[in-house]
Amino acid sequence: MPMRGIDSSLSHIRRKVFTEVARMAYEGGDYGRIEELPYKIVPGEVSRYRESIFLERAIVGERLRLSMGLSLRPMDEHAPLTTGIEEAARPEKYYEPPLINVIKFACNACPEKSYRVTNLCQGCLAHPCVEVCPKDAVSIVHGKSIIDPEKCVKCGQCANVCPYGAINKIERPCAAACGMDAIGSDELGRAKIDYDRCVSCGMCLVNCPFGAIADKSQIFQVIQAINEGDRVIAAVAPAFVGQFGPDMTPEKLKPAMKLLGFDDVVEVAVGADLCTLEEAKDFMREVPEYQPFMATSCCPAWSVMAKKLFPDFAPYISMAMTPMVLTARLIKKTYKGCKVVFVGPCAAKKLEASRRTIRSDVDFVLTFEEIMGMFEAKAIHFAEVAAGPELTEATADGRGFAVSGGVASAVVNAIRELDPEREVKVMAAQGLRDCRKMLTLAKTGKLDGYLLEGMACPGGCVAGAGTLQNPVKATAALNKYKNSAPEKYSVHSKYKITLDFLHD
């Protein structure tokens, strides 16, 4: 994702919102002071980012509400920022759908997809743009190309053949990033999400350069649980490596999280190892005898997409519990009566954890970006945190789930260990558009016998909507972390004997 890892004014405001909500929750008391926070986050009298400082503050107000798990206020009637805040100040309060929201008055009402001729057009003699257009939508007027929008079918052939690159594709960034084609326009041209299609991958919210799309958070509720003295344990996804900057080494993760009030920290890569073993056994048992191929199950946005758009393939998605759920079950069997917070890169995990079947296992989901707000609220400087012991519970393959291709690689390695004679063909896709193409190919029968890995985010979990770093940089840090694991393959996990125990 191009904007990840860039310290922009947008990321700065998002972080400040999370920090102030976390600070308010830690301090407790009268939450009516939320009304003052837009003035703290956007100080002064002169607007810096938009045409009006009042608009900036109104948008920040809605962001504050979403980050507390509250719904957006109606635009056409008065409602204070505090509406519903007392109910939200309870650990058991779960956010109401929808998870992904468009703040309408922050939306730029960007144009939908179209092709436009720029002033780079040289009016060349060949005018290939005219020749290739299947609908005669391109013509030459006064020596320059023009496109008739009424005829244009947006195929892009004219842009592809222009020798000067003079024809540009204009597309709303959120819609371009949505692999489900779930974003259209309302009557005023603002972005509108079709929730029947949306799988909550969050790619729209990280690609909107106006910060008009945001998801709901549980920061407020997690800190309420900590304040009430609950035993709150963090299950941290392997993509955490490198997310919090160079001073936060893996050995500092547990000590740093304890400073936030967490009782303990467990690597979700442990659950990834268990998921690997389940998927390997599923594949060996089912393919090709009982089903033509098997798809991985760990990415919720991918599996929900597959079930929505290719319902016939639902039985072919592995029945293995996801690493998040397996880790949470392991924690709850070990620490009776605790609360589990999944900490990871993913917006879709919030949706997964809200399912009734999973709510008993996973109490809260926070992203790395939200956790960073908690660190800043507590003024924790990673350089000053003393390192704890090395994390040694998970294997390299379990940690590798965080990058595209890592899940399939782990499953193949497990099958090779369990049945060295068996050959496994693999195809991996990243980004929902490419995942859809892969399943379309599977529909033709060309992927029979294959293990299919789908990742909703281009690059894998390291590029999830809740990450802080550039995905390329994050992948390099993750690979280094993988190589430091004491065991390479998931079949060597010391937790593999607990799998049956976790299904009880």
What does the pLDDT look like over 260-279, one tens digit per residue? 999 999 999 999 999 999 99
Confidence of residue 495 (pLDDT cuts 50, 70, 90): confident
Residue 501: the pLDDT is: 64
Buried b (16+ CB within 10 A) or exposed e, 76-85: eeeeebbebb
Structure tokens belonging to residue 395: 């294997």
How far apart, in Å, are the Cα atoms of 140 and each of 84, 132, 166? 59, 14, 14
Write out the two tokens for 492: 């060597």
Going across the sheet that includes 425-430, the strands are 294-295, 450-455, 425-430
Region 37-62: mean pLDDT is 94
Contacts of 477 (CB under 8 A, 6+ apart): 241, 242, 469
pLDDT at 33 over 50: yes
Residues pairing with 425 in the sheet: 450
Q: Domain ranges in the chain?
A: 1-88, 114-170, 231-490
- The DSSP code sequence of 32-82 is GGGGGHHHHHS-SSS-SSSS-HHHHHHHHHHHHHHHTTPPPPPTTS---TT
pTM metric for this prediction: 0.93
**Using 50, 70 and 90 to split pLDDT, how confident is the model at 7?**
confident
Helix, strand or coil, per DSSP, at residue 168: strand
pLDDT classification of 93: cutoffs 50, 70, 90: confident
| Angle at 269 (CA atoms; ends 268, 271), nearest 5 degrees | 65
Range in 76-80, 216-220, 300-304, 496-500 the model is least confident about: 496-500
- Average pLDDT for residues 177-205, to the nearest whole number? 96
Give just the sign of the alpha carbon dihedral 400, 402, 406, 411: positive
Separation CA 244–CA 15 (nearest Å): 13
499 pLDDT higher than 90: no
pLDDT-derived band at 358 (thresholds 50, 70, 90) equals confident
**pLDDT (tens digit per residue) in 374-409:** 999 999 999 999 999 988 999 999 999 999 999 999
DSSP letter at 383 equals G
**SS percent in the chain: helix, strand, coil, step 5:** 45, 10, 45
Residues 225-236 pLDDT 10s: 999 999 999 999
CA angle, 9 then 461 then 484, to 5°:
110
What pLDDT is attached to residue 357? Answer: 81
Residue 122: burial class (beta carbons within 10 Å; 0-12, 13-18, 19+): middle
The widest CA-to-CA distance across the chain, in whole angstroms, is 78
Question: Residue 504: which pLDDT band, with cuts at 50, 70 and 90?
Answer: low
Taking the C-alpha atoms of residue 264 and residue 257, their distance in angstroms, rounded to an integer, is 8
> Order of strands across the sheet with 264-267?
264-267, 232-236, 339-344, 364-367
Summarize the confidence of residues 148-162 as an average pLDDT.
Answer: 96
Which among 318, 335, 315, 317 is positioned nearest to 327, based on CA atoms? 335
Express each pLDDT in 170-189 by its tens digit: 999 999 999 999 999 999 99
pLDDT at 4 over 90: no
> Average pLDDT of 4-33?
92
Strand, coil or helix: 366: strand
**Amino acid at site 333:** K
Q: For 122-147, write each residue's pLDDT tens digit.
A: 999 999 999 999 999 999 999 999 99
Question: In 10 A of CB 461, how many CB atoms?
Answer: 29
Q: Residue 165 pLDDT more than 50? A: yes
Q: Over 50: is that where the pLDDT of 489 sits?
A: yes
| Per-residue pLDDT at 2 exceeds 80 | no
Tell me the average pLDDT across 100-119. 95
Mean pLDDT of 7-27: 95
Q: Is the pLDDT of residue 1 over 50?
A: no
pLDDT exceeds cutoff 80 at 75: yes
Cα–Cα distance, 64 to 120 (Å, whole number): 44
pLDDT the model gives residue 229: 96
**For 337-354, b where at least 16 C-beta lie within 10 A, e where not — what string?**
ebbbbbbbbbbbbbbbbb
Q: Which CATH class is domain 114-170?
A: alpha beta
Q: Dump pLDDT digits (tens) for 457-481.
A: 999 999 999 999 999 999 999 999 9
